[in-house]
């Protein structure tokens, strides 16, 4: 299959040569403590994945599949019970130093919930500049907002004065200010209408190309992943059941669960509703 055929349908740039911006190795996450939780099914069970430079990688699954737990652990917001996570060769955990934490940034489904409601857009950026002085001197606030398609007129606004799309772009701008190597996007478009969703996806695609970002994209929506991601990992009950090039997975799923997710895409008609499951 040619390189053009293997690329995502939306025309994102091909991944850079082999390398690992993010490496997750046999990650297991259990919540709670004590004997009862020790024998319960883990939220994430032995998952391994990686993200290469300039690559957009999707992690998909229904609610409860463990995808957000993977994202939180990769961002250093949740510790692994077992396994390891590294970003740019540095270990990721809740105890990693501030300089390493800046290298991995996260964008949430509800960006307003992650903002201080009393803090303007400008004040939020100013706080990041205070905490990460040398790292944030590369760009002015006005140019930063322009990079994500926003007007500098939004700088004095409070979070409740922003639309959903504007708030998500501000969230991405705040992450971009720190010049991370990896952006983790946890359902960043699911709360937006279709037209705004498309704009945010275009923005992530552009930043991957222009700013050298790598993106770990968490979603329950394979239609969105099909448009954006180079590769995809499919989670079911905390376990990895399928992985591979997005076009291959979408056209020839090897696991029945992946096929069910694909069949739920509006307008999709599967010729093989019961593909052979992988071992």
Please state the rounded mean pLDDT for residues 88-117: 91
At 189 the pLDDT is: 84
Domains of the chain: 1-97+184-279 (3.40.50.300), 111-179 (no CATH)
What pairs with residue 60 in β-bridges?
A: 219, 234
Closest CA to 20 of 83, 73, 86: 86
Share the mean pLDDT of the chain.
86
Task: Give 16-71 pLDDT, tens digit per residue.
Answer: 345 789 999 999 999 876 545 555 789 999 999 999 999 999 999 998 899 999 99
| 275 or 165, greater pLDDT | 165
CA dist 146 and 237 (Å) reads 41
Contact 220, 208 (CB under 8 A): no
Task: Give 61-93 pLDDT, tens digit per residue.
Answer: 998 899 999 999 999 999 999 999 999 989 999
Contact 180, 105 (CB under 8 A): yes
Task: Give 244-274 pLDDT, tens digit per residue.
Answer: 999 999 999 999 999 999 988 876 644 444 3
User: Is the model's pLDDT at 212 over the cut of 60?
Assistant: yes
Closest CA to 184 of 171, 193, 165, 198: 171
CA dist 182 and 162 (Å) reads 26
Report the predicted TM-score, pTM, of the whole model to 2 decimal places: 0.85
Please state the rounded mean pLDDT for residues 98-123: 91
In a 13 Å sphere around the CA of 30, the CA atoms on its Cβ side amount to 14
Closest CA to 101 of 113, 114, 117, 85: 85
User: Is the model's pLDDT at 276 over the cut of 60?
Assistant: no
């Amino acid at each position: 299959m040619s390189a053009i055929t293997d690329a995502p349908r939306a025309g994102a740039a091909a991944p850079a040569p082999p390398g690992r911006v993010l490496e997750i190795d046999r990650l297991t996450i259990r919540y709670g403590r004590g004997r009862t939780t020790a024998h319960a099914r883990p939220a994430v069970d032995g998952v391994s994945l990686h993200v290469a430079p300039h690559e957009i990688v999707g992690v998909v699954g229904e609610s409860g599949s463990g995808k957000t737990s993977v994202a939180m652990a990769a961002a250093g917001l949740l510790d692994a019970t077992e396994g390891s996570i590294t970003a740019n060769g540095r270990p990721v955990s809740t105890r990693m130093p501030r300089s390493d934490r800046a290298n991995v940034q996260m964008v949430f489904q509800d960006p307003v919930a992650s903002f201080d409601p009393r803090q303007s857009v400008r004040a939020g950026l100013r706080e990041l500049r205070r905490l990460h002085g040398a790292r944030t001197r590369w760009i002015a606030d006005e140019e930063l907002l322009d990079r994500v398609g926003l007007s500098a007129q939004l700088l004095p606004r409070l979070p409740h004065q922003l639309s959903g799309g504007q708030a998500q772009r501000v969230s991405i701008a705040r992450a971009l200010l720190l010049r991370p190597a990896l952006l983790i996007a946890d359902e960043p478009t699911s709360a937006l209408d279709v037209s705004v969703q498309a704009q945010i996806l275009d923005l992530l695609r552009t930043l991957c190309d222009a700013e050298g970002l790598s993106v770990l994209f968490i979603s329950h929506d394979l239609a969105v992943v099909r448009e954006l991601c180079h590769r995809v990992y499919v989670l079911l009950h905390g376990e990895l059941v399928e992985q591979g090039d997005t076009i291959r997975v979408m056209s020839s799923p090897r696991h029945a669960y992946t096929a069910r997710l694909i069949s739920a895409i509006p307008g999709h008609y599967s010729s093989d509703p019961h593909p052979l499951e992988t071992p």
